[in-house]
Structure 1
Amino acid sequence: MSAAAQGASTQEHDMTIKQAIRIYRPAIWWCYLWAASVIMQSFAIALIPSFFAQDQFSRKYGTLSSEEKYEIPAGWRAGLTVGALVGEMFGLVISGTASEKYGYKKTMIVALILTTGLIFIPFFAGNIQVLLVGQILGGVPWGMFQSMPSSFASDIMPQVLRPYLTTYINLCWVFGQLIATVAVRAVLSLDNEWAYRIPFALQWIWPLLIIGGIIWSPESPAWLVRKNRMDEATRSLLRLTTRGHSNFNVDDAILLIAETNEKEMRMSSGTSYRDCFRGVDFRRTRIACLAWLVQCLCGSVLMGYSPVVYKACGLDGVWAFNMTMIQYAINIVGTFLAWWFMHLSGRRSLYLYGCMALFVLLISIGSTAFTSSTNKPAQWGMAIQYLLYTFVYGCTIGPVCFSLVTEMSSMRLKTKTIVLARISYNIGSIIVNNLANYQLTPSPSGWGWCAKSALFWAGSTLACIIWIYFELPEPKGRTYCDMDVMFDHGISARKFSKTNVPELASRPRENGNARSTANRQNAAAENNGTELANMSERTNA
């Protein structure tokens, strides 16, 4: 590494949160704008499950039950939910390829235009079949929104701010769900089709507002460096930072990105999905995928069925709804607390101890469920424990996951790694949602486990604890170059936080064939050599 790039790395390591906020203030605001697409997506996804409890929606798209009530059949409920997830997986794959080829900015603009047009399908849907088509097609741009804001934030943020801006995306998910709940609640008094059409129409507000800002947004400097557009990368970073700081040099920062990119080009074979499963990159992909799967497997699926769970705890419908609204507030507070906890202890510790706390709470909730249904103190005890579960999840697993997934991959394969991790999460969500449906549905149509299902998820949470202990590394305080060095040397996950990277980098790799150094990688690096030399000369001058 050149002296200028090493200096930029040292400056990034030594940068305090206060200094980073002053220097990267414009970048923070751009991250907020990009993350607004997640609020839009969360709002759209939360509408359909909310409509299942709306009489007007059921009269339009449901069938008359034996009790003379209109209901959406269970099969169609599952289809509408899973259909969106299937569309999202296609969108994720598209975004991973398109954003690397055309850039984050152009891909985001296309996704926003696409979602604006696709909203017409559910808004005018005359039957449930057309509504399903709208969910599947609408899921495509939703999937694109799932990967790009986090990739963009992790690209433009220094390591000291990266966990805060990536976990902010979790806050956007909660905001979107809360706004959707309020929107559906506000139109309940309407006794016609506008009770569900108005919430659908509100979706048009989001892309129209966001696209106006994205057009003026700077492109990721890291992406521009990968395309050998060094001057544009410098101009982009200048737009993302403020001027006049003695502890920050734009040219040095770009040189660090370029040399990190060059190092990764020598160590890995490219930027395709196939490369995510080769050599050391396979370990990084596996960690990212399983880190996101932990969100599914730790029992969080029960939060998606909160009213059902609270009713199973013995609460009436009004209190079940009240407790669900309290959950959203707890999740918002939890994300803010997670920022403080990450500053104190790091991401691995929060994931590990968070899962341990959730395991204990799930055991307690499931055990309490065996008490008599007339035992009111026990029922309220379960409800309060479930709120405590939500609080722990909101402080640890929920927000921290977004930071971990973006930090595990190499810089060149980041978007595709995030895509694969999110696809893993979506597949896991399909499985756990189907399991939860059977667990929480009374017999004979379901298993009738109700709150006892917490014991089942305690078992899967225990498996998560074991995996976290042995395989999840600690990325706190590490730049992408640091992570590259430690993964390349095969450092154990439990030793990441204690490893001296400069000393490690000076030693030869123990596993010499960890990554291929074939001629095409060297040739690709040589193509970058002229640009790097020019950058070094300009910096030294």
Structure 2
Amino acid sequence: MAGFLNVYTISIFVALAGSLFGFDISSISGIVGTSQYMKFYGNPLGVTQGAITGSMAVGSVVGALSSSFVGDKFSRRRSIQAGTVLWCIGATIQATSNGVPTLIAGRAIAGLCIGLTSALVPIYQSEIAPRKIRGRIITFQCLAITCGSLIQYYIEYGCSFINSEAAFRIPWAIQIIPALILFIGLFWLPYSPRWLASVGRWDEALRVIAFLRTSNKDTNDPHVLAEYREIEEQVRSEYEESSSSYRELFSKKIRKRLFLSMAVQIWSQLSGMNVMLYYTVYVLQSAGIAHARLLVSFQFVIEVIMTIPSLVWTDRWGRRPSLLVGSIFMALWFYIIGGLLVRYGQPNPVVNQPYTWIIVGHRAASGTILACAYLAVGTFALGWAPISWLYPTEVAPVRVRAKSVALATAANWAANFALGFAVPPMLRSISWRMFFIFGSFNIAAFIHVLFALPETKQRTLEEMDEIFEHGEPLWKTFAAKGDTDRLEKLAREIEMGTLDVLYTGLPLRKVESIPKN
């Protein structure tokens, strides 16, 4: 088993937690248009459907906020395991629900897992990843979300032809399977070396770094010792400060990074894409597109395919270009959808429908709306989807990283709840105007990123202090003073014996096995 484990396989496996979020997205988008769901739950519209959708986000806010304490105290790995247990409980309640209240309760409990894992999985991945592929490693989380959405949607599409309650109960019960696999498999994964260092388990931290970076687990490898020193120096300097981590989180040094992390997560929701994934079937039906539920499935295929370029090239493109280009094109697609709806649409004469504005008899306009919906999904998958999870995990020091990411993720889920709750009533009240609102949010996000967000690609987590304090224009890539690759310089000095690594006084010795779990 140990020979199979490396940074890639560990990150891919732990990203199964992301697939749970993807399952949840499709558990709504694949069900809301079915007659079985509407009949059993009393045709929920407007606020009622918003409450069902948004209940998961409410639980996610609580889960994300608790992740800071749980992740620091019990480790990232064990806390993710706890989240999978909550998911199994929530999925069971959903699959056996007898009405809207129990369905909401089950989704809220499952949301605790989503909030907990969506904060801690990217932290865990960032803390085990080499700096040059950190973006790629964390993008596995995003790819898992899209794959989970795709798999669950087709499960639900297939089950929708069952003429009974099983049409939605079977897919909701199947959600338990990946959570069980993740819970069991986590027993074989190592702890985060930066978490081990933060709790004083230095020997284990060194051995995990050696395990992750070398084929023979050599703790005397110069590159292993260089990374160990970087972590050691950062943790030591943080713990020499007298302020508490909560006070430090809002200190002048850290609060800019915290607010940027929260802003990136909020803008990703205000882009409109995640909520659109819940309700695309309504949008296509209002545009007069036949077979809307089948066509919605293709957006999940597009999302998976377009996540792959981000997986390969995010560390080359950088964070800023991905967000800036993504914002502009997302705005364009939403403006086009809104413009076509207002130009060719008319009031819906049928009452008790999820939408009050429809297009009738304009195939070109309807086809263009479908194309723009697909383009919006692809654009989001290339830019905001992976970066919104990656950036908050990079910028905070290890001592406050869990708390910073927890607040950023809680902000994400708070925005998700607000939009998930609001969109069904908005579709019935302001219809096409909603798309202009989302387009304008994307323009605002572009402006904010342009003037406030530093580039962080290719840099170690320990270099973030310098990145945020170097004072150069944001569009210039940060270069460490005195050398363009500090870890390589440290490794050379250690290899030549000119640099002492032993700040902690711990002996550095060869270790023949990885840490026991």
TM-score w.r.t. the length of structure 2 is 0.84
Alignment of 1:405-484 (within 5 A): 405-441=392-428, 446-449=429-432, 452-484=433-465
State the distance in 2 between where 1:73 and 1:437 align: 7
Q: Post-superposition shift, 1:56?
A: 2.7
State the distance in 2 between where 1:414 and 1:31 align: 19
Choose which of 289, 294, 303 in structure 2 pairs with 1:331: 303
State the distance in 1 between where 2:193 and 2:261 align: 23
Q: Post-superposition shift, 1:24?
A: 11
Query: What is the one-letter code of the residue matched to 2:183?
Result: I
Deviations 1:484-516 (A, max 9, x none): 1232x3635615514443489xxxxxxxxxxxx
Q: Post-superposition shift, 1:131?
A: 2.2
Identify the residue that residue 41 of structure 1 maps to in structure 2.
21
- Contact 2:91/2:107 (<8 A) preserved: no
Alignment of 1:115-514 (within 5 A): 115-244=87-216, 249-266=223-240, 269-272=243-246, 274-300=247-273, 301-316=275-290, 318=291, 320-372=292-344, 373=359, 374-441=361-428, 446-449=429-432, 452-487=433-468, 489=469, 491=471, 494=474, 497-502=477-482
Query: What is the one-letter code of the residue matched to 1:262?
Result: R
Query: What is the one-letter code of the residue matched to 1:293?
Result: I
State the distance in 1 between where 2:108 and 2:317 align: 41
Q: Post-superposition shift, 1:340?
A: 4.1
Number of residue pairs aligned between Structure 1 and Structure 2: 477
Alignment of 1:64-143 (within 5 A): 71-143=43-115
Identify the residue that residue 57 of structure 1 maps to in structure 2.
37
Q: Post-superposition shift, 1:241?
A: 3.6
Q: Post-superposition shift, 1:453?
A: 3.0
- Contact 2:54/2:421 (<8 A) preserved: no
- Contact 1:123/1:200 (<8 A) preserved: yes
Q: Post-superposition shift, 1:33?
A: 1.4
Kindly, what percent of the aligned residue pairs are identical?
21
What SS class does the counterpart of residue 397 from structure 2 fall into? Answer: coil
Deviations 1:375-401 (A, max 9, x none): 322332232233222222221112222
State the distance in 2 between where 1:294 and 1:222 align: 29
- Contact 1:84/1:136 (<8 A) preserved: yes
- Contact 2:61/2:411 (<8 A) preserved: no
- Contact 1:298/1:457 (<8 A) preserved: yes
Query: What is the one-letter code of the residue matched to 1:460?
Result: F
State the distance in 2 between where 1:105 and 1:531 align: 28
- Contact 1:471/1:493 (<8 A) preserved: no
Query: What is the one-letter code of the residue matched to 1:276?
Result: L
State the distance in 2 between where 1:480 and 1:494 align: 18
Would the alpha carbon gap of residues 268 and 468 (structure 1) be closer, same or farther in structure 2, given more than 3 Å must change?
Answer: farther
Would the alpha carbon gap of residues 26 and 106 (structure 1) be closer, same or farther in structure 2, given more than 3 Å must change?
Answer: same
- Contact 1:89/1:143 (<8 A) preserved: yes
What SS class does the counterpart of residue 424 from structure 1 fall into? Answer: helix
Deviations 1:427-450 (A, max 9, x none): 212233344323322xxxx2232x
Would the alpha carbon gap of residues 321 and 198 (structure 1) be closer, same or farther in structure 2, given more than 3 Å must change?
Answer: closer
State the distance in 1 between where 2:90 and 2:286 align: 37
Query: What is the one-letter code of the residue matched to 1:447?
Result: I
Would the alpha carbon gap of residues 85 and 434 (structure 1) be closer, same or farther in structure 2, given more than 3 Å must change?
Answer: closer
- Contact 2:134/2:315 (<8 A) preserved: no
Would the alpha carbon gap of residues 493 and 196 (structure 1) be closer, same or farther in structure 2, given more than 3 Å must change?
Answer: farther
Query: What is the one-letter code of the residue matched to 2:184?
Result: G
Would the alpha carbon gap of residues 127 and 389 (structure 1) be closer, same or farther in structure 2, given more than 3 Å must change?
Answer: closer
Query: What is the one-letter code of the residue matched to 2:53?
Result: T
**Segment of structure 1 superposing worse, 195-204 or 238-247:** 238-247
Higher relative contact order (CA 8 A, sep 6+): 2
Would the alpha carbon gap of residues 211 and 432 (structure 1) be closer, same or farther in structure 2, given more than 3 Å must change?
Answer: closer
Would the alpha carbon gap of residues 435 and 268 (structure 1) be closer, same or farther in structure 2, given more than 3 Å must change?
Answer: farther
State the distance in 2 between where 1:54 and 1:367 align: 29
What SS class does the counterpart of residue 164 from structure 2 fall into? Answer: coil
State the distance in 2 between where 1:456 and 1:268 align: 45
**Segment of structure 1 superposing worse, 95-104 or 24-33:** 24-33
Identify the residue that residue 534 of structure 1 maps to in structure 2.
505
Q: Post-superposition shift, 1:97?
A: 0.5
Q: Post-superposition shift, 1:263?
A: 2.8
State the distance in 1 between where 2:229 and 2:88 align: 39
Query: What is the one-letter code of the residue matched to 2:245?
Result: T
Q: Post-superposition shift, 1:408?
A: 2.0
Q: Post-superposition shift, 1:457?
A: 1.7
**Segment of structure 1 superposing worse, 403-412 or 417-426:** 403-412
What SS class does the counterpart of residue 191 from structure 1 fall into? Answer: coil
Query: What is the one-letter code of the residue matched to 1:233?
Result: A
What SS class does the counterpart of residue 29 from structure 1 fall into? Answer: helix
State the distance in 2 between where 1:162 and 1:268 align: 31
Q: Post-superposition shift, 1:153?
A: 0.2
Query: What is the one-letter code of the residue matched to 1:469?
Result: L
What SS class does the counterpart of residue 119 from structure 1 fall into? Answer: helix
- Contact 1:25/1:241 (<8 A) preserved: no
- Contact 2:31/2:168 (<8 A) preserved: yes
What SS class does the counterpart of residue 245 from structure 2 fall into? Answer: coil
Would the alpha carbon gap of residues 399 and 262 (structure 1) be closer, same or farther in structure 2, given more than 3 Å must change?
Answer: same
Q: Post-superposition shift, 1:285?
A: 0.4
Query: What is the one-letter code of the residue matched to 2:404?
Result: T
- Contact 1:287/1:408 (<8 A) preserved: no
State the distance in 2 between where 1:503 and 1:268 align: 31
